[in-house]
Structure 1
Amino acid sequence: MTKVLMVCLGNICRSPLAHGILESKLDSDFFYVDSAGTAAYHIGESPDPRSIEVAKQNGIDISGQSARQFKVEDFDTFDRIYAMDQSNYNNIIRLARNNADIGKVKLILEETNSVSNKNVPDPYYGDFSNFEHVFRLLDDACEVVSKTL
């Protein structure tokens, strides 16, 4: 089974969307998808209501997800780890124990050529249109990821 982890800062906006989107594109008999945050701000909380709503509008239910913090053991559990932006990528790499750990980590938007800025913008302080934009970015990237796993 191939295991993929999506990581953002608080695990309530971007990574839950990426988690749900990729999960919806893969066969759960062969793939496991999860998400985490590099910070401990929202441990145990549900995704942001705007993330839940934009996912729902696109036929994906992420309401059952619960935020958790990224941990070193995730390097052992997951085959691929996708960071939503450079800051979170750097935070993950700081926890890496070796080159094998580092080799598992990428920016998710590196998977697509549709945008030049490889950082998924954090929609938290924006309005619903920001969440819709992030959904589209992640949907495009997850489509590519689903075909390369």
Structure 2
Amino acid sequence: MKFSKILVVCTGNICRSPVGAALLGSRCNLFVESAGLNAVVNANVEPQALALVKEKSGLDISDHRARQINLSMIKSADLILTMTARQRYEVAQIMPAATGKTVLFGRWLGSAQGEEIIDPFRKSLAVFATVHNQLVRAADTWCNKLSEPLSR
């Protein structure tokens, strides 16, 4: 299956999901957008996340404004990537039928279940850097997975 629209979800849509969406979209040349389950609508990306994605990945996401997830976004997405298992559950509460297309952003990292990506909000620059590196690794792995031919 070809994924033409991917939605990356976190809590506030100001730290992890806008960075994850930008990384995935730029690396895989796909349409990727982001939203938050408890977004401060129209808020800017956190300065630490903004600086790291620009410095380490050369991406400028300063135009991003936080958006609240809604049913229309969930319905239109071919794949929904969340940062935590709890967020995956929360997406399913909005639209139970979306459970099958909702997966951890860190699905291919770490253990068989994947890695959750913690919220760096109001934490140190070191935590933001760790999260950024995790998002980069996850985006790269997703790009590889999304480009693999399906086995029959």
Match 2:51 to one of 47, 50, 53: 53
Helix, strand or coil for the counterpart of 1:73? helix
SS at match of 1:109: coil
In 1: Cα distance, 2:112 partner to 2:137 partner: 10
SS in 2 for 1:24: helix
State the TM-score, normalized to the length of structure 1: 0.88
Which residue is equivalent to 1:140? 137
Kindly tell me: are residues 115 and 12 of structure 1, through their superposed partners in 2, closer, same or farther at Cα, counting changes over 3 Å? farther
Unaligned runs of 5+ in 2: 147-152
Q: What SS does the corresponding residue of 2:61 show, helix, strand or coil?
A: coil
The residue type equivalent to 1:94 in the other structure is Q
Task: Give aligned-pair identity as a percent.
Answer: 29
The alpha-carbon deviation at position 115 of structure 1 amounts to: 9.2
- Judged with a 3 Å threshold, the aligned counterparts in structure 2 of structure 1 residues 144 and 13 are, in CA distance, closer, same or farther, namely same
- Show CA shifts across 1:6-34 (max 9, x none): 1000000111110111122022xxx2010
Q: Following the alignment from structure 2 to structure 1, what is the Cα–Cα distance between the partners of residues 108 and 92?
A: 18
Q: Which residue of 2 aligns with 1:32?
A: 31
Note the 1:91-106 alignment, pairs <5 A. 91-98=90-97, 101-106=98-103
Query: Where does structure 1 differ by over 3 angstroms across 4 or more consecutive aligned residues?
Result: 113-117
CA, structure 1 residues 115+45, in 2 after alignment: closer, same or farther (shift >3 Å)? farther
Please tell me whether residue 118 in structure 1 is matched to residue 115 in structure 2: yes
Question: Corresponding residue for 2:42?
Answer: 44
Matched, 1:131 2:128: yes
Provide the aligned length of Structure 1 versus Structure 2: 143
Report the TM-score when normalising by structure 2. Answer: 0.87
- Please, which runs of 5 or more residues in structure 1 have no aligned partner? none
Please tell me the root mean square deviation across aligned C-alpha atoms, in Å.
1.8
